[in-house]
Amino acid sequence: MSQTVPLSVPPQPGPWAVELVGIDKRFGPVHANKAVSLRIRAGSIHGLVGENGAGKSTLMSILYGFYQADEGQILVNGAEVRIREPKDAIALGIGMVHQHFMLVEEFTVLENLMLGAEGGALLKDGIRKARAEVERLEKAYRLDVPLDAKVADLNVGIQQRVEILKALYRGAQVLILDEPTAVLSPPEVQDLFRILDALRAQGRTILMITHKLKEIMAITDAVSVLRQGAVVASFHTQDTNEAALAEAMVGRRANPAVRRPGAPAGAPLLTVEDLSIFDERGVERLKRATFRVRAGEIVGVAGVAGNGQSELLEALSGMTPFQRGRVHVNGRDVTPESPMDPAQARRQGIAHVPEDRLRRAVVKPFPAFQNALLGYQDDPAMADGPRLNWKRVAAATARLMEDWDVRPRQPSLRTSLFSGGNQQKLVLGREMERDPNVLLVGQPTRGVDIGAIEFIHRRLLAMRDAGKAILLVSAELEEIMALSDRILVMCDGAITGELAAEDATEGLIGRLMAGITDDMEHGSRADAAGGAA
């Protein structure tokens, strides 16, 4: 197996490197994996796709020994094995690159590589051996990394290479990659794919989790689709296409919501000019964003996670100060010199449903009615002088629960005992019922069941029709396309394009997400995600 032409070569019918048989796993009431069976050919790249919460990461964590399956068998190279902890997996030649890198940032690259594979009680000999071996691996796979640099000083692309090297240094024959491209820029993705290709050429087996179908088509030999904890389909990559995979992922024709155009949009309610955010290292995370959101329209923001969308929401909601530019909202000018905090933002009629609902939109140990007040604790209608009137808050919460179909309808129940979808409805209700002019909403349906998704979409459209301005950030392209009247596409902190809903196609948005703008389009660039050619 020394071919270097990577794409769409049928996997040689060879032995199975890994076989998962009837893997079943529950976390309390959540059935994360339902009798999953999966076989992966040695020397192939096997994709694992599915929506958020489909059980992909759990399955791979079981293979890596991070969790124990409740039932089922694992076979490696045809022999049944028991993997109780990562140590067992490593011994079997299984390596994993986690989505959140498992690196010690204060350590050098070399120290990270050696951790757990030091080669003796003293470091001295190990260091020499490690250097030699790593340099060999680096050459074999063109995985250049500065061995003596501190990991904290490296960018994510290089950190990911360190993770891959780490697995190879431990002798991994099977490499699991969890959403490896989520944090990478398009050129870094190309680089990664080149490395994966070289690994396959050397006979290593790769299991790649992703929810990006283009990547599946670009690099894998075979693909399995997980939905709600179960494998619902497996294909040879050459026998399938994105549409079929998407359908398998969501369990019905993708894009079912018929976009319902609203009335022509009115006056701008939110104007953003030249907005930039720099992080503590001075890197520009949001680059001169300029756009408007008008009354009666939903503006969607599309992009690969981590390309500035979060920063944009944070700046507009007042949670993060910005260093350049101007935001005009409801008669107020916000600039770096006169910033706006989240409380002031709410007073300006900006409501915010944050991306990371569990971490910041609710306080989990509080009863639901207290979370229904979160952010609006200054509302004079809910207090008598200094005293908060909890009875009134609870009554209002009960109405909100009715209106938003939050189940169970128990305002005094601990918030953490509600399901993700019901928590999200509580948050959306809280943010939308006070009649804001502008709604900033991030990932409104992440981790929410299908019924609730449709409900939430209907409410967002209804709010738009009531003449409000909505800025929608979502990782789900289908969601953006189904709801938005206009679409902004972001890449590497900059807005790379603005499309009217009628003109938006997945291909066009995809190119803009990869940072390929109009002036480059006429060149010979291929689609970045598949551009290993």
Partner 1 sequence: MDDTALWIVSLLASTVRLATPLVLASLAGFYSERAGVVDIGLEGKMLTGAFAAAATAAVTGSPWAGLAAAIAASLLLALVHGFACITHRGDQVVAGVAINTIAAGLTAVLANAWFDLGGRTPSLDGGQRFLGLHFPLAEAVRGVPLLGRFYGEVIGGQNLLVYLAVLAVPATSWVAYRTRFGLRLRAVGENPAAVDTAGISVPWLRYRAVLITGLLCGVAGAYLSIAQGAGFQENMTAGKGYLALAALILGKWRPYPTLAGCLLFAATDALQARLQGVALPVVGAVPVQIIEVLPYILTVLLLAGFVGKSIPPKAAGQAYVKDR
Partner 2 sequence: MSASTNSDGLPRWATLALLPAINLGAALVVSSLVILAIGQDPLSALAFMVKGAVGSGTGLSYTLYYATSLIFTGLAVAIANHAGLFNIGGEGQAYVGGLGTGLVCLALSGWPWYTVLPVAVLAGALFGAVWGLIPGYLQAYRGSHIVITTIMFNFLASALMVYLLGGPLIEHGQMAPESREFAESTFLPAVKEIAAGLGYRTSTLPLNLSLLLALLCAAGVWFLIWHTRWGFQMRTVGANEAAARYAGINARTTIVVAMAISGALAGLVGINELQGVQHRITLNFQAGMGFTGIAVALMGRGHPVGIVLSSLLFGALYQGGAELSFEYNEISPRLVVVIQGVVILFSGALEHMFRPALVRLLKPKAAASAAGQRA
Return residues touching partner 2 (CB under 8 A).
27-30, 32, 317-319, 341-346, 352, 354, 356, 358-366, 370, 373-375, 377-378, 383, 386-388, 390, 407-408, 410, 413-414, 416-420
Nearer to partner 1, 61 or 210 (CB): 61
Strands 469-473 and 297-302: parallel
> x/- site string to partner 1, residues 120 to 139, per CB under 8 A?
xxxxx-x-------------
Which positions from 364 through 403 interact with partner 1, judged by CB under 8 A?
none
Q: Which of partner 1, partner 2, none has residue 111 at its interface (CB below 5 to 8 Å by kind)? A: partner 1
Q: Which of partner 2, partner 1, none has residue 57 at its interface (CB below 5 to 8 Å by kind)? A: partner 1
Residue 89 binds partner 1, judged by CB under 8 A? yes
Q: Judge whether 453 and 478 are in contact, CB under 8 Å.
A: no
- Binding residue for partner 1 (CB under 8 A) from 60, 90, 304, 372? 90
The residue range among 104-112, 236-244, 356-364, 435-443 that interacts with partner 1, by the rule CB under 8 A, is 104-112
- Rama region for 448: left / alpha / beta (φ>0; ψ in -120 to 50; rest): beta
CB of residue 416 to partner 2, shortest distance in Å: 4
Q: Which of partner 1, partner 2, none has residue 96 at its interface (CB below 5 to 8 Å by kind)? A: partner 1
The residue range among 2-10, 116-124, 174-182, 378-386 that interacts with partner 1, by the rule CB under 8 A, is 116-124
Residue 86 binds partner 1, judged by CB under 8 A? yes
- Rama region for 101: left / alpha / beta (φ>0; ψ in -120 to 50; rest): beta
Q: Judge whether 327 and 271 are in contact, CB under 8 Å.
A: yes
- Phi, psi of 509, deg, nearest 5: -60, -40
Nearer to partner 2, 260 or 407 (CB): 407
Is there a cis peptide before residue 342, judged by omega within 30 degrees of 0? no
CB of residue 344 to partner 2, shortest distance in Å: 8
Residue 140 binds partner 1, judged by CB under 8 A? no
Cβ neighbours of residue 125 under 8 Å, at least 6 residues apart?
119
Alpha-carbon distance of 362 to 371, in angstroms, equals 6
Q: Give the DSSP H/E element, type plus range, for residue 423.
A: helix 420-432
Residue 87 binds partner 1, judged by CB under 8 A? yes
Nearer to partner 1, 121 or 381 (CB): 121
CB of residue 85 to partner 1, shortest distance in Å: 7
Residue 66 binds partner 1, judged by CB under 8 A? yes
Distance of CA 215 to the CA centre of its chain: 15
Cβ neighbours of residue 91 under 8 Å, at least 6 residues apart?
none
* Token digits of residue 165: 């090297």
Alpha-carbon distance of 319 to 335, in angstroms, equals 14
Q: Which of partner 1, partner 2, none has residue 395 at its interface (CB below 5 to 8 Å by kind)? A: none
Q: Judge whether 375 and 430 are in contact, CB under 8 Å.
A: yes
Alpha-carbon distance of 317 to 306, in angstroms, equals 18
Helix (H, G, I), strand (E, B) or coil at 237: helix
Interhelix angle 186-201/123-141, rounded to 10 degrees, is: 100
CB of residue 424 to partner 2, shortest distance in Å: 12
Residue 57 binds partner 1, judged by CB under 8 A? yes
Q: Judge whether 473 and 505 are in contact, CB under 8 Å.
A: no
- Binding residue for partner 1 (CB under 8 A) from 16, 107, 278, 390? 107
Tell the residue number behind the tokens 């900006």, with chain if given.
Answer: 350
Nearer to partner 2, 415 or 484 (CB): 415
CB of residue 341 to partner 1, shortest distance in Å: 24
- Binding residue for partner 1 (CB under 8 A) from 112, 159, 237, 496? 112
Nearer to partner 2, 9 or 374 (CB): 374
Residues that contact partner 1, how many (by CB under 8 A): 36
> Taking the CB of residue 335, how many other CB atoms lie within 10 A of it?
14
E-assigned strand segments in 211-283:
222-227, 230-236, 268-278
Chain positions contacting partner 1, by CB under 8 A: 27, 57-58, 61, 64, 66-67, 85-91, 96, 98, 102-107, 111-112, 114-118, 120-124, 126, 166
